[in-house]
Structures are given as C-alpha cells and as structure tokens.
Homo-oligomer: A and B are copies of this chain.
C-alpha cells in the first residue's frame, strides 16, 4: 500500500457513482476502484443484521485490491455499519458519506436548523441527527424519508410533473421547520437536485453528501501525505455483483460519460 494505491469506494448499487464523480472532480489523479452491490441493492429497506453482513462482504471485496483508504458511499451502511467496515479493513482510514455530509452541514448552517432527507433505513437510524448533534448539540435536526426518490431518479423521471408532486409531498413539512440547510442523505438524490431545490426554495442551502465526502477525502489524503503524486488520470475500475440490464444507461445518467469495462464479482 502506497500513495499510488487506489481509493476503494463501495455502495449498495450504482448511486455511489455520484461520489466517484465528485472525487474525480476534486482529485483527478487518484486511482479509484468502485464496488456496487447491484445483486443485493437496495440495502435501505433491509434489516440491520443483513446490512452489517453485507458491509463486511463489500469491504472484503475492496480489500483484495489493497486500497489506501475506503469510502463508504452508501448512507445506509454509513448509518448502521461503519464500525463493521472499520473492523474489516485493518489500519487504513475509512470515510463515510454520512459523517462528511453531517460535518459540512454543521459548518454551513447559520440558524442551527438542519433538514435531512434519505432512505427509510437512514432516517429511522437517526444517524444524521446523532452525527450532527455530536458536533453541535444545539442544532435542531428534522428528517424525512423519501423512498420514491431512488426509483424516480433511476427511471429518469428527473423533470416529470409526478416527481415535482412527490417532492412537494415529502418536503412540505420542511417549510414549517425553519431550516436553512438541507442534507441530501442518499447518493441518488443529487440526480434530483434541481427539483428538490425548486421545491424547498432557493433560500435553503443544499448539502450534497458526495461533494462533502470528496472534500473530506482531499483533506485526509493531504494531511497524511497520501495524495497520489503521479499526474496521470485513469477511468475508475468498476466491480459489480450483478450486471443489470439498465447498467449502461444508469452509468450514463450518473457519470455523464460512456460506461467503461466492468468486472463481475460473486457475493
């Protein structure tokens, strides 16, 4: 393991590609290896015991490639099983989208009222509120599960009137809650950032967890002298546990570029 070792990133499916894209933008010379557990997606509605087992499996798959750090791009695993990832990967640093997003939101809020949207499991775990209040116990956190946002994003219903109606349904209560900052606590949600922004209002700052984790990764590699010093760029190395029929279309939706080769791994 050295500065040229890859950064390992995993998610329950392809949503974590928003994290890959944010890290590519912030750190173009890093080698990235991404595992998407497309055979077992989604993790959100599953039980904690199952999610913790999957987190250990996912970490083991990335560890075979000797990464210099691991990024948990899955909010559900960040919320319920970050300790499992830390235990499974020895001494290398682990960054979860959740703590990164929570920390950036705490820095940004001015009125100490933060909203969080995510999957049912992330919201029920209360992990964002816990992470935010660990940093600042005076902040009020209001959370809302938006389970239809993932299928709407994946089906490309980005600008559809139905998506606007569903966004209004989910986000209505935030208007009364006086928040000035909203955390997108699911890696799919950046795809719907525009409709979420229009619905919530332009006076509320939106925190994209993918951008927050890229910022934190950059800081951490810098501080530890582990930035890749070779000035070459490479396409991310993609691993998936199943190759869904829509994979290529979804890759295009998330990354805005053609899908590279993909390796299939068994889970």
Query: CB within 8 Å of B: which residues of A?
Result: 38-40, 45-47, 50, 120-121, 124, 147-148, 150-152, 155, 157, 160-163, 165-166, 169, 242-246
> Which 3 pairs of residues, A with B, have the shortest CB-CB distance?
A162-B165, A162-B162, A151-B151
A121 and B244 alpha carbons, distance in the complex (Å): 10
Q: Are A246 and B160 in contact (CB under 8 A)?
A: no
Residues of B near A160 (CB, < 8 A) are 165-166, 169
Say whether chain A's binding surface is mostly helix, strand, loop, or mixed: loop
A147 to B246, CA, bound (A): 12
Beyond A165-B160, A169-B160, whether A50 also contacts B242 by CB under 8 A is yes
- Min CB gap A49→B, angstroms: 9
Contact B162 A155 (CB under 8 A): no
In the assembled complex, the Cα of A175 lies from the Cα of B161 at a distance in Å of 21
Q: How far is the CA of A50 from the CA of B246 in the complex (A)?
A: 15
Query: Looking across the interface, which residue of chain B has its beta carbon closest to that of A151?
Result: B151
What would be 14 A-B contacts, judged by CB atoms less than 8 Å apart? A38-B46, A39-B50, A40-B40, A45-B244, A45-B245, A45-B246, A47-B242, A121-B245, A148-B148, A148-B152, A148-B155, A160-B165, A162-B169, A165-B165
